[in-house]
Structure 1
Amino acid sequence: METIYYDKSIELLHKVSTPKGFLASAENTSNYQRVWARDGVICGLAALASDDHKLIETFKKTLETLAENQHEIGTIPSNVLVSNDKTEVSYGGLAGRVDAVTWFVIGVCQFAYHTNDDSFVLQYKNEIEKALKLLDAWEFNNKHLMYVPLSGNWADEYITDGYVLYDQLLRIWALKSYNYFVKSDSISNKIKTITKQVEVNFLPNAIGEKFHERAYNELIFQEYLPCSFSPSGYKTQFDAFANSLAALMGIGTNETHEKIINHAYDLASSTKLGLVPAFWPPIFKSDEHWNLLKDNCKYEFRNFPYQFHNGGSWSMVNGFFGLALVSKSQKDKAETILRQINEANALVDFSFYENFNTNTSEPNGVPFCAWSAAAAILVHQALYKNFKIVF
């Protein structure tokens, strides 16, 4: 076990630590020099795993910054720019970011759990409950699954929309995290109801009333859960992040988890990088959803086949896949994924690139990306220090 990779990952998190929280990158590029909700919480989970007190304090500052800038209706900022001159708050670009809300709730509760500080949840009880109420409103039809706009989460230039699996799972995780402290019967019932709806609408041969019966019956299920569905039908790309969360959270049966794990690992093993792509297969110009993909960008198009969200490989996503492997006692495979994450992060003198072209293995996106380092820390500590995120 070489420690240089772990040490370099910790070093990068220290570089992006500020008095207001974790920045997304140490590179002074566009809006990455901001405190982000999802990036900050994922880095915060790595901070908790590391048991580095300075990093844990930065995580606390991250959550404080997000809470201070919560919108009056409950929205958590996608990101916050804090400088000596001004504070700029963004709740999203072309669409609002649903997952900023859930990551915030998860972050506060995971911080409190791992630091044995229940008072931290009590301190942000109003912010959390306002956020959870907003998630209820985003169901729109009061049928227990949130409706997520195109561009409404971390895959903000991809094609997922409507009832997006990733966002439903984060909501369950957020509710479970909060309910660990408040032990509410109504929240317990809501968790059961949402989980049932996810299983009925995303798992094959599920018994229960479907949201979109006709589309469900026409769907050819694969060895994994589809990424989203909407009134126009299902989108069936493999979402590695969402499926890793499903395995981690125990959604479906053990057979479901085994199929997901095997599919993801085989896919990762077939690539030059040895990493599982974020979404697969790539969308090409001849495919049905190409126009939806190519127009979903505010500045420049980045989702060429095998790149970015369109079949690109992310260390961050592989971090959660690695955690799923550890949770299923597949240590050898988890060690392999960790080795591949470390090798990817080490390219170009430890540049910790945001993502990679799965076809060529060339780096893409922003260098010195904090959550690429966080991925390595999380899997390393899960493997060798028995660190466990609470799901």
Structure 2
Amino acid sequence: MSMAYDKSIELLFNCSSDDGFLASAQDISNYKRVWARDGVICGLAALASGNDKLIETFKKTLETLARHQHKIGTIPSNVSIQNSNVEVSYGGLAGRVDAITWFVIGVSQYAYFNEDLSFIEKYKSNIEKCFTLLDAWEFNNKHLLYVPLSGNWADEYITDGYVLYDQLLRIWALKSYNSFAKSDSISNKIENITKQVQINFFPNSKKEKFHERAYKEIKFENYLPCSFSPSGYKIQFDAFANSLALLLNFGDKDFQDKLLNFTFNLASETKLGLLPAFWPPITENDENWSLLKNNCKYEFRNYPNEFHNGGSWAMVNGFFGLALFSKNKLNQTDFILEKIHNANQMSNFSFYENFNTDTREPNGVPYCAWSAAAGILLHQTRHNNFKILV
């Protein structure tokens, strides 16, 4: 085991609490809370590590999220528990759609790893409420989620409407749960969502689109656009979404080969050797700058090459590495794993949230749990035969 791996495990322990994984070991802003997406990603790393104490913390994370599920089905974005004082947030400027899908993925992955069907049964009603709410969030009953601006992990970015990342997470959640439920209706739903993703996000589709005029106006690149809405398509490259597309085996071999070449070339050309979260960066001269500039509750952080606007995240690259591994790109997987560890060990293993892709300077919160989780999850997948349920 490398020192970087050991330090990553150490940070997950430092971010463990009686109620689950905290987003950071430091009490900065609202990071010392149990978050849905952060907690599940850390939970996947806990399963990969095989450490019983970390796996138990993952279980506590899921229990905390389920305990505070809203009566209509919403999973908390985050929960703060200080003594007897409980604060539950379902989102800031907008609700967090991906909290629901990450929760379902988390319960399913935990049950799969532990071969524990009773865990699925315990949270069956919670999961069914999640799926019912996701159905409602289609609004037009045409199988794609409609996500508000600020409605997922990229909460200060420009994606809204039919966001690719959220469609793919929903498919992953449905598939994960249905590996236990074996439901024909869920299988049909997966098929219908998949068809709509293929029709509306892939080039050269002949079937009727949601937004035919906007679809005809865009120039498709060697990746899938990040989102579209009634106002048209946003065609920035979304590293997380396109990594999920590879993991879920979307597209034919020609598409996947082009996407793999594009993504790895982009990563290897940066100073960090990591894939930027979204690319290219939006600048003051771009039409979406005003939308980006105003989408922040406190302070503006999305300067070009930083945060979501072209910044590089160890967490996102963890999933990119999983995508490379799933396509048997072992040398490229090793390259990304090394770069994740290199980023995490900057400033004496400070595990920063993200980095400026141009200057390599760290941004955001240090001792970020999911930055550590990325290295653990990819290392164990690459070297110790860990397999997530996809």
Task: Place the TM-score, normalised by the shorter chain, in its bin.
Answer: over 0.9
Q: What SS does the aligned partner of 1:389 have?
A: coil
TM-score by length of 1: 0.99
Displacement of 1:115 after TM fit? 0.7
Shift of 1:262: 1.1
CA–CA separation in structure 1 for the residues paired with 2:331 and 2:97: 35
**CA distance in 2: counterparts of 1:176 and 1:119, whole angstroms:** 18
Cα-to-partner distance string for 1:6-52 (whole Å, 9 max, x where unaligned) = 10000000000111000000011010000000000000000000101
Letter in 2 for 1:57: E
CA deviation after TM superposition for structure 1 residue 257, in Å:
1.7
Q: Which residue of 1 aligns with 2:341?
A: 342
Greater CA deviation, 43-52 or 251-260? 251-260
1-structure distance, mates of 2:261, 2:48 = 26
Q: Distance in 1 between matches of 2:51 and 2:182?
A: 30
Determine the structure 2 residue equivalent to 1:325: 324
Which amino acid in the other structure matches residue 29 of structure 2?
A: S
Partners of 2:316 and 2:212 lie apart in 1 by: 31
CA–CA separation in structure 1 for the residues paired with 2:119 and 2:84: 29
Gaps of 5+ in 2: none
> Which amino acid in structure 2 is aligned with residue 362 of structure 1?
E
What is the CA distance between 1:386 and its match in structure 2?
A: 1.3
- Mapped partners of 2:77, 2:352: distance in 1: 21
Partner of 2:366: 367
Shift of 1:390: 1.1
Q: Identity percentage over the alignment?
A: 71
Matched, 1:80 2:79: yes
Q: Distance in 2 between matches of 1:232 and 1:386?
A: 45
1:251 Cα deviation from its structure 2 partner: 1.3
1:179 partnered with 2:161: no
- Cα separation, 2, equivalents of 1:220 and 1:34: 42
Shift of 1:255: 1.8
Residue 218 of structure 1 deviates from its aligned partner by 1.0
Measured in 2, the distance between the counterparts of 1:19 and 1:307 equals 33
Q: TM-score, normalised by structure 2?
A: 0.99
Deviations 1:135-192 (A, max 9, x none): 0000000000000000000000000000000000000000001111010000000000
Q: What's 2:152 paired with?
A: 153
Is 1:3 matched up with 2:5?
no
Cross-structure match for 2:12:
13
- Superimposed CA distance per residue, residues 287-326 of structure 1 (whole angstroms, 9 cap, x where no aligned partner): 0100000000000000000000000000000000000010
Question: Within 5 Å, which residues of 2 pair with 1:190-339?
Answer: 190-339=189-338
Following superposition, the deviation at residue 126 of structure 1 comes to 0.3
Instruction: Measure how far apart 1:388 and its partner are.
Output: 1.3
The residue identity in structure 1 corresponding to 2:19 is K
Shift of 1:207: 2.9
CA displacement at 1:222 relative to structure 2:
0.2
- How far apart are residue 254 of structure 1 and its match? 2.0
Give aligned pairs, total. 390
The match for 1:111 is: 110
Cα distance between partner residues in 1 of 2:29 and 2:63: 23
Match of 1:49 in 2: 48
Q: Distance in 1 between matches of 2:388 and 2:273?
A: 25
